[in-house]
Amino acid sequence: MPMQAPQSRLLGSLNATATASPSPGLAANHTGPWCLQVPIPDGLFLSLGLVSLVENLLVVVAIAKNRNLHSPMYCFICCLALSDLLVSVSSVLETAVLLLLVVQQLDDVIDVLICSSMVSSLCFLGAIAVDRYISIFYALRYHSIVTLPRARCVVLAVWGASVTSSSLFVAYYNHTAVLLCLIILFLAMLALMAVLYVRMFTRACQHAQGIARLHKGQRPSHQGSGLKGAATLTILLGIFFFCWGPFFLHLALIVLCPRHPTCSCVFKNFNLFLTLIICNSIVDPLIYAFRSQELRRTLKEVLLCSW
């Protein structure tokens, strides 16, 4: 995390390459003027973590409070918010623990919490994409395909797999296979989301074209809706790639070129990459939750304490 004190074992091993200097020549090379390092103050990191924590906690409470939101779609959104909340909690907890220099007592617990929350967050982003895909392409059968019991089974499977895999990652954190598994998970979720959302966008354009044929004077409206859909798709996938991509690029470079001077420049910004993941936890509710009018209304009731 962003402090200079010793890090927890798992993240410390990932960040160790940033400070390693295999030889004096390389040390001189990777500290040249072209090697940019963005410092992240502890206060900023803690502030972002607390904002994400409060924001996602409000989403979880609002969905739990309103029975109208107890549907499979909101079940996945609630679990995404819970995963993002755990990302924030574990990050803030680790920062506080490390600042107090009591790492040893909570080392493995924090590592498992961080890793499992990241893995589950990625998985629930994929689950939301699948849910939306089924709701569009199998609209008439959606409620028979995506039932609440099935959604709960998916949720339990994701959390179980996340905790189990994270425990293994922490136990074997020095093995290259751990990094490869995390990289493959990210690429799989990125490919899944890209394919599904592009297909949904294509179907929406086809639907708009069909409406335009029935109302020939509506052509400008169709073009406007197409541009709006393309912008939404670009923002959704762009934010996901921008916030998660650098962290997994860091992991990939550890596997491919751990001692190359150019890769060393990337390693120096490890704390920035973790901060971007926290920023993604802040943005996720804006994309997936707060666009719902029902959820916004419930959120107002929660904030006004009208239980």
Domain assignment present for 21: no
Domain assignment present for 188: yes
What pLDDT sits at residue 83? 92
Half-sphere exposure of 229 (CA within 13 A, CB side): 18
Q: What is the pLDDT of residues 17-66, one digit of tens each?
A: 544 444 333 334 444 446 777 888 878 888 888 899 999 999 999 999 88
Domain assignment present for 97: yes
Chain mean pLDDT for the chain: 79
CA pair distance 265, 35, nearest whole angstrom? 5
Q: What is the pLDDT of residues 268-288, one digit of tens each?
A: 888 888 889 889 999 988 888
Q: What is the pLDDT of residues 121-139, one digit of tens each?
A: 999 999 999 998 998 888 8
CATH of the domain at 139: 1.20.1070.10
Domain residues for 123? 40-303
Domain assignment present for 18: no
Do the Cβ atoms of 204 and 229 come closer than 8 Å?
yes
Cα angle value 113/119/122 (rounded, 5°): 135
Look at the alpha carbons of 216, 220, 224, 230 in this order and tell me if their dihedral is positive or negative. positive
CA pair distance 80, 82, nearest whole angstrom? 5
Tally of domains within the chain: 1
Domain assignment present for 6: no
DSSP string, 38-63: ----HHHHHHHHHHHHHHHHHHHHHH
* CB neighbourhood size of 84 (10 A): 32
Domain assignment present for 119: yes
The tokens describing 115, both together, are 């890793």
Question: What is the chain's length?
Answer: 307
What pLDDT sits at residue 87? 86
Tokens 């990094």 correspond to: 179
Q: Most confidently modeled of 2-16, 197-211, 224-238?
A: 197-211
Tokens 């990302």 correspond to: 87
Domain assignment present for 10: no
111: left (phi over 0), alpha (psi -120 to 50) or beta: alpha
Please give the single-letter amino acid code of residue 123.
C
Stretch among 10-24, 34-48, 110-124, 191-205 having the lowest mean pLDDT: 10-24
In 3-state terms the chain splits into helix, strand, coil percentages (rounded to 5) of: 85, 0, 15
Q: Which 3 state secondary structure label does DSSP give 258?
A: coil
Tokens 């790492």 correspond to: 103
CA pair distance 225, 245, nearest whole angstrom? 29
Alpha helices in 24-147 (DSSP H): 24-29, 42-65, 72-99, 103-137, 142-145
Give residue 229's pLDDT band: very low, low, confident or very high (50, 70, 90): low
CA pair distance 57, 74, nearest whole angstrom? 14
Mean pLDDT, rounded, for 222-236: 62
CA pair distance 33, 44, nearest whole angstrom? 25
Domain assignment present for 256: yes
Q: What is the pLDDT of residues 59-105, one digit of tens each?
A: 999 999 888 888 898 999 999 999 999 888 887 777 666 656 555 55
